[in-house]
Amino acid sequence: MEEKKLDLNAIIGFVLIFGILLGWMYLRQPSPEELEAQKAQQEQQAAEEKAEEEQPKTPQKAIIAQPETINEKDSTEVADYQKSVGAFGFTKVAEGTTTLENDVLYLEVANRGGQIVTARMKNFVTFDSVPVYLVNSGNADFGLTFSTSDNRVLESQELFFEPELTTNGDNQVLSMKAKISPSQFLEYRYEMKENEYLVDFTIRSQGLSQVLNTSKPVELHWKLQGIRHNKSVQYENRYTRLTYNHDDGKISKLSESSELDEETEEAVRWLSYRQHFFSSILATDKPFATVALTSENLVEQESKEEKFTKAYTSQTNLEFSGGELSHQMYWYYGPTDVKILDDYKELGLADSIPFGWGIFGWINRYVFTPFYGFLSSFLPYGIAIVVMTIVVRIALSPVTYKSYLSQAKMKVLKPEITEINERLKDNAMKKQQETMKLYNKAGVNPMSGCIPALLQLPIFYALFMFFPTSFELRQKSFLWAEDLSSYDTIFNLPFTIPFYGDHVSLFPILASIAIFFYMTLTTGQTMQMQQQPGMPNMKFIMYLSPLLMLFFFNNYASGLSLYYFISNLITIGIMLVIKNYILDEDKIHARIQENKKKPKKENRFQRKMREMMEEAETQKRAGRRK
C-alpha cells in the first residue's frame, strides 16, 4: 500500500520562507536609539495633552453660556427671529454652548436647539491619535417638529434654550428651557452621572397648550453621520450598522453594505448608531410606537480621505398626555464594549454588539468574550490570543481525531473502490450500489469525516465574529502589529492592488502558508474521493484556499489572522501526532477486513435506500428494453 509522504524539498522551502519572514521582521524592528526617540516624543506629547487638560478650570463643572441682552447690532437677527419662532412668543437668548463632562465623557449642548453638538470620548483616540468624537462639527441633528394652534409648523432647532446648571449629589443636571414665560416652556433636561457614558434625557412641556396643537403628535427626528475612527474605512464600515431593539426584545439591524436601507418598526425601545467600536444610542422608558429608519452607505471604496462611514436617520412621534409632553429617555455615547454596556442591563444595550446570530453569538458572548477577558487580565493581549487558540484546538482535538480516522479508513478502502469504479465504469447506478455495500460491510461511513467538520463550524464562526468586535483588542499591540483590531503593515505599496490593498500584512501571509501546509497533509488523504462523481478538485482547493486567505484577510484584524496562523500550526502538529503515533493503518485495514466478514444487518434507512436504488435500476433496464 503506497503511503503519500511529504516532499522534503517542500518542507525545506516552507522553513526558508518562514525564516526569511522572521529575518525581515528582525531587520524592520527599530534600533534602541529610535525606540528611545519615539518614547521621548510620546512622553512629550502626553505631557502636552496633560497640561492642556489641566488648564485652570473647576473639574466636573459645566461652562455655561449665559443669556445676554440683545443690543442694537442684533436688531436684524431679532427681526428675523420674530418672523419665525419668535412670533409664537418664545424669547431669544445668546448663541453659545454649555459643557457637561465627567472623567470619561465630554458633551457640549447648544443654546440654539438645545441639542448635543459635541460628544467626545476623554480616554480614547483614533488610529492617528485624534480624540474620538461621536458628535462634532454638525454631523448630528436632533429635534422636534410641532404643529401650532394656528396650523403652522414649529421646529425646536430654531428655538433658543436658556441653560441652567445644578447638581444632584455627584450628578450634573442641565435644564435647557425654551421659554415663552417662566411658567410656559419646552424643556430638555440632561443629567450626567459620575464616570458614566449614559446620560438621562427628559423632554417635557409646560403651559404650551395655547401655542401648540396638542391633538397632533410631535415628530422626533435624529440624524447622524458616523465619523471615521479606524485605519481602514472599509473594514470599519463593515461593522458600522444601525441596530435597534423592538417588539419586546427582538434585535434587528439595517444592512451594513447596501447603498440605502429603509425600515419601519413598531415598539422600538432603543436605537443604536454603531460606529464599530463606539456607539451613539437613544433609549426610552416607554417604547416608541413606530419608527422610520434609514441607513445610507457613504463608503464606495478604500480611501484615506473618507471622513464618514454611514448616514443614519430615525423618525418617530411623541404623544401629548393631558395637554403636555413628558418622555423619559437616555443618551449613550461611549465604547461598544460589553463590559460597559452590561452595566445597563435594564435597557439591554449590550445586545447592540454584533456577537453573531443564534448559537454562534451565544458562544462568542458567553464563552470566548469572558474567557479572553480572563486571559488578557494577566497576559499580554497577543499572548492571550495564542493561549486561547491552544486551548480551543486542544478542546477540538477529539473532533480532529475522528475526522482523520475517517480519512484513514477511506484511504485503506481506496484500492477496492478503484476496482469497483473500473469494473462498473459504464453503470453508474450499479457502481454506487456496490460502493455503498462495501462501506456497509467495512463499517465505514463516508460522511463521518464531514460531521466533525460541521461540529467545528459554530466555534470557527464565533471566533470569526469575536476578533473584529472585541473592544479589548482595540489599539493593543503584539510583535509588529500596532493594533490587533486592525491590519498589521510590514510594507506600504506605492499603488493599490484590487481586493488586496495598498499595503502588505504579514500575519495573513503566515496564516496562508500554514493553511497550505495543512492542506498538503489533508488533501492527500482525500484525493481518492475525486474519483467519485460530483466531488470537487481537491488540488485546486488546496491552492485556492491560501490565496483567498491572503487577499481576504489583508485588511482584516491582525488578531484574527494571528489566530488562524497559530490554529493551523497546532492542527498540523496534532495531525502529525495522530498519524505517526496514534493511528496504525495496518491495524485499521485488518479491522475493516474483520468487519467485512461479519454479517451486517441493514437499518431501516439503509434498507430504504437500497430498495430505492434497486427500483431505479429496474426502471432503467425496463426503459432500455422499450
Q: Which DSSP string do the residues of 253-280 spell out, in sequence order?
A: E--SSSSEEEEEEEEEEEEEEEETTEEE
Handedness of CA 116, 117, 122, 125 (dihedral sign): positive
Which is higher by pLDDT, 462 or 454? 462
Nearest-5° angle of CA 418, CA 419, CA 423? 120
Looking at the predicted structure, is the pLDDT value of residue 1 above 80?
no
pTM of the model: 0.75
Which is higher by pLDDT, 10 or 388? 388
- pLDDT, residue 6, reads 41
**pLDDT above 90 covers what percent of the chain?**
30
Which is higher by pLDDT, 161 or 623? 161
Read off the pLDDT band of 361 (50, 70, 90): confident
Which is higher by pLDDT, 450 or 342? 342
88-97, 308-317, 390-399, 603-612: which has the minimum mean pLDDT?
A: 603-612
Looking at the predicted structure, is the pLDDT value of residue 201 above 90?
yes
| Domains of the chain (ranges, CATH numbers) | 47-354 (2.70.98.90), 372-597 (no CATH)
Average pLDDT over residues 537-565: 78
Average pLDDT over residues 441-451: 60
Average pLDDT over residues 401-408: 70
Average pLDDT over residues 129-147: 93
C-alpha–C-alpha distance, residues 197 and 167, integer Å: 17
C-alpha–C-alpha distance, residues 278 and 170, integer Å: 25
For every residue of 136-188, which 3-state class applies, written as one string?
A: CCCCEEEEEEEEECCCCEEEHHHCECEEEEEEECCEEEEEEEEEEECCEEEEE
From the CB of residue 32, how many other CB atoms can be counted at a distance below 10 Å?
A: 7
Average pLDDT over residues 176-193: 92
Looking at the predicted structure, is the pLDDT value of residue 218 above 60?
yes
Looking at the predicted structure, is the pLDDT value of residue 298 above 60?
yes
Could you report the per-residue pLDDT of 87-120, keeping only the tens digit for each? Answer: 567 888 888 999 999 999 999 999 999 999 999 9
CA distances 472 to 133, 310, 373, 466, Å, are 19, 24, 8, 11
- pLDDT, residue 302, reads 80
- pLDDT, residue 534, reads 46
- pLDDT, residue 36, reads 58
Are 127 and 230 contacting, i.e. CB atoms less than 8 angstroms apart?
Answer: yes
**pLDDT above 70 covers what percent of the chain?**
68
110-124, 177-191, 256-270, 585-599: which has the minimum mean pLDDT?
A: 585-599
Which is higher by pLDDT, 420 or 180? 180
Could you report the per-residue pLDDT of 417-426, keeping only the tens digit for each? Answer: 777 677 766 6
Average pLDDT over residues 582-608: 61
Return the half-sphere exposure (C-beta side, CA atoms, 13 A cut-off) of residue 5. Answer: 6
Identify the H or E element spanning 497.
strand 491-497
Average pLDDT over residues 230-258: 89
Which is higher by pLDDT, 408 or 32? 408
Look at residues 550, 381, 539 and name the one whose alpha carbon lies nearest to residue 472.
Answer: 381
Could you report the per-residue pLDDT of 472-528, keeping only the tens digit for each? Answer: 889 888 888 888 888 888 888 888 888 787 888 888 889 888 888 877 776 654 444
Give the strands of the sheet with 131-135, arranged side by side.
Answer: 97-101, 105-110, 116-125, 131-135
- pLDDT, residue 457, reads 75
